């Protein structure tokens, strides 16, 4: 009977097996030590709680991998089971060792937050709280030195303007004697003089004619909808600074805002939608627009989040905020 087996013996068997196999799935461990998946899972949980073994964030076929401390690099053998963008982020990070978060495209930024087995973040203590992602095997002290170099290299260098002296070219021209040309004499015939005077009077009258002003068409000013007015009133009531209105429609509003926080003022891209239900797709589009401008998103709506949207918001809470009005 499985209940009669020595617990310590089972624990030692699991550790010995992981030393040989490396990161393994629960189904393989239970088969090797001769226990049902339920009992094997209980032993694995106990070992993980005592920190004798680790559990991967990555999943293979829906199950995490169990491995010993020090076997982190062996998890890369299972990277083919990762989604496309996460695999792409892993390859990029392994090559570069360090990636600045805000300089990556939105999908890679999200992927870097999901591959926790292969990354660790370092945050600069500056106004922007710049995040750098480091490859898991890259020593932290070396990473800090490299980050300092990257920050120093990104600082604008002073432009030294050199005095440019004008180059004057002297062209030698052949001097030719001036030949005075006599102007031909013009003899006026009687009658022509009167005709010329008449033409001068006619031209003068035409010049003195009053200018006809064209009527300017009145510029139509777009009226804001009740929903847009409601959003601007809400921002004012919450002491949220409206920096710039990007665009507005009857049921949508897009603007740059600034919010006071514990770490200072933070800029957000504000997206307001007059919808009964907000979906995960609405949140994803809002986040994509904000990250294109390298800032977090603040979604405001008159409706509620559905289940998928609530789950999405929980996963990306550091990048997108939601308020219902």
Using the predicted structure, report yes or no on whether residue 302 has a pLDDT greater than 80. yes
Helix or strand (DSSP H, E) at 321: strand 320-324
CA distance 286 to 271: 7
For the stretch 175-215, pLDDT in tens is 555 555 555 554 554 555 555 555 555 555 554 555 555 55
For the question of whether the overall pTM of this predicted structure is more than 0.95, the answer is no
* Domain pair 2-71 / 82-153, same fold: yes
Architecture of domain 2-71: Orthogonal Bundle (1.10)
Q: Which fold has domain 82-153?
A: Arc Repressor Mutant, subunit A (1.10.10)
For the stretch 257-273, pLDDT in tens is 998 876 678 899 999 99
Coil/strand/helix, residue 325: coil
Helices within 208-306 (DSSP H only)? 226-237, 280-292
For the stretch 47-87, pLDDT in tens is 988 899 999 998 888 889 999 999 988 998 998 888 899 99
Greatest alpha-carbon span in the chain: 142
pLDDT attached to residue 109? 93
| CA dihedral for 56, 59, 63, 67, sign (positive or negative) | negative
The domain ranges of the chain are 2-71, 82-153, 226-324
Give me 58's structure tokens: 């990555």
Across 108-117, average pLDDT: 92
CA distance 247 to 213: 35
Torsion angles phi and psi, residue 145, rounded to 5: -65, -45
Coil/strand/helix, residue 154: helix
Using the predicted structure, report yes or no on whether residue 151 has a pLDDT greater than 50. yes
Q: How many residues does the chain have?
A: 325
297 within 8 A of 106, measured Cβ to Cβ: no
Least confident of 87-101, 171-185, 215-229, 296-310: 171-185
pLDDT attached to residue 270? 95
For the stretch 218-269, pLDDT in tens is 656 678 889 999 999 999 899 999 999 988 888 999 999 998 876 678 899 9
Architecture of domain 226-324: 3-Layer(aba) Sandwich (3.40)
């Amino acid at each position: 009977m499985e209940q009669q087996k020595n617990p310590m013996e089972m624990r030692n068997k699991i550790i010995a097996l992981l030393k040989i196999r490396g990161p393994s799935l629960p189904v393989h461990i239970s088969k090797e030590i001769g226990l049902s998946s339920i009992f094997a899972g209980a032993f694995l949980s106990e070992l993980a709680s005592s920190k004798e073994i680790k559990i991967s964030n990555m999943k293979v076929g829906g199950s995490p991998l169990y491995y010993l401390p020090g076997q982190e690099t062996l998890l890369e053998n299972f990277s083919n089971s990762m989604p496309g963008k996460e695999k792409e982020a892993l390859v990029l990070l392994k090559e570069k060792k360090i990636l600045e978060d805000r300089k990556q495209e939105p999908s890679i930024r999200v992927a870097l937050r999901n591959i926790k087995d292969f990354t660790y973040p370092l945050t600069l203590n500056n106004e922007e709280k710049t995040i750098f992602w480091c490859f898991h095997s890259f020593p932290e002290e070396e990473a800090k030195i490299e980050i300092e170099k990257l920050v120093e290299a990104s600082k604008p260098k002073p432009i030294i303007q050199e005095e440019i002296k004008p180059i004057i070219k002297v062209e030698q021209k052949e001097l030719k004697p001036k030949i005075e040309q006599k102007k031909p004499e013009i003899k006026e015939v009687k009658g022509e003089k009167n005709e010329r005077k008449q033409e001068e009077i006619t031209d003068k009258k035409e010049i003195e004619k009053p200018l006809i002003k064209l009527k300017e068409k009145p510029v139509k000013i777009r009226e804001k909808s009740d929903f847009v007015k409601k959003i601007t009133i809400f921002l004012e009531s919450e002491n949220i600074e409206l920096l710039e209105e990007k665009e507005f429609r009857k049921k949508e509003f897009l603007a740059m805002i600034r919010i006071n926080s514990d770490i200072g003022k933070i800029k957000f891209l504000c997206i307001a939608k007059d919808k009964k239900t907000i979906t995960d797709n609405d949140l994803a589009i809002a986040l994509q627009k904000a990250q294109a401008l390298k800032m977090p998103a603040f979604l405001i709506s008159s409706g509620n989040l559905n289940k998928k949207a609530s789950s999405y918001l929980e996963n990306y809470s550091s990048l997108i905020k939601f308020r219902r009005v």
